[in-house]
Amino acid sequence: MTNNVYKVSEIVGTSETSISDAIQSAITKASESLRNLEWFEVGQVRGWVKDNKVGHYQVTMKIGFKYDK
């Protein structure tokens, strides 16, 4: 069994469509510059109201990625 070391970064994803889309957009963008992404943890979900409807979703999350060997 190997011992792994992980780095954790906090990122924020946004979407006009859904919380899931906000999460996915953040992971997709982070994966452009980070390798070995392995997990995420949602810390906060926020949004704002526009014309008495949800106008935008914002998700603050931590992502974990494994250091290369």
Domains of the chain: 6-66 (3.30.1660.10)
What is the pLDDT at residue 69?
A: 66
Task: Return the sign of the alpha-carbon dihedral for residues 20, 43, 33, 64.
Answer: negative
Please choose, from the candidates 13, 4, 15, the residue with its C-alpha nearest in 3D space to the C-alpha of residue 64: 4
How far is Cα 60 from Cα 43, in angstroms, rounded to an integer? 6
Q: Is the pLDDT of residue 1 over 70?
A: no
Q: Could you tell me the CA-to-CA distances from 23 to 5, 11, 49, 57 in Å, in that order?
A: 24, 10, 19, 10
pTM of the predicted structure, to 2 decimals:
0.86
CA atoms of 20 and 64, how far apart (whole Å): 18
Q: In the prediction, which pLDDT does 3 show?
A: 84
